[in-house]
Amino acid sequence: MATSPLGAAIAGGGRAALGWLTSTGAAAWQGAKDLFSKGSQAAPVVQQEVQAVAQQVENPQSPLSFSAHALERMAERGVSQEAVTTAVEKGTTYFDKLNNTFTHVVQTANGKVLQVATSKQAGGNVVTTMVRSKFNDAVKLADGTERFVRK
């Protein structure tokens, strides 16, 4: 099985791969995840450094930052940073009382719904992304109140 470019860089150069990770975002994070899930001999400290850098990856065209979890979910679900930025900038925004985050919802060209969760802090760190068949803003919490409050 072929190793990703990041996997090869880490195996061959260790920490030198970190700059490459920062410049390539989600694809690089997926490469690192693939490498470490296959039992690489790379030192655990390098894996921790890769994860720390991935948590700070930013798209130069976007004020958003992406958590490692968000990058992982984006890679798994085929969601680009541009799609996330569009959802945050142009989608319908709700406050999610259950998770204490903002949820940005936008309909995609293929009829699916992209849901992007961001932290409440200024700058809106992207926490996760979901692709769903529909978004139900009428979900209730255990106390009977609405989970999503439109902003």
pLDDT bin (cut points 50, 70, 90) of residue 70 is very high
pLDDT recorded at residue 23 = 45
Residue 60 has pLDDT above 70, yes or no: no
- Number of C-beta neighbours around residue 150 at 10 A: 10
DSSP string, the chain: -PPPHHHHHHHHHGGGHHHHHHHHHHHHHHHHHHHHHTT--S-HHHHHHHHHHHTT-B-TT-S-BB-HHHHHHHHHHT--HHHHHHHHHHSEEEEETTTTEEEEEEE-TTS-EEEEEE-SSTT--EEEEEEES---TT-B-TTSSBSEEE-
Given pLDDT bands bounded at 50, 70 and 90, which one contains residue 13?
A: very low
**Band (3; pLDDT cuts 50, 70, 90):** very low
Question: In this structure, what token pair is assigned to residue 18?
Answer: 């970190």
Identify the weakest region by mean pLDDT among 53-62, 71-80, 96-105: 53-62
pTM of the predicted model as reported, rounded to 2 decimal places: 0.61
So what's the pLDDT on residue 129?
95
Average pLDDT, the chain: 75
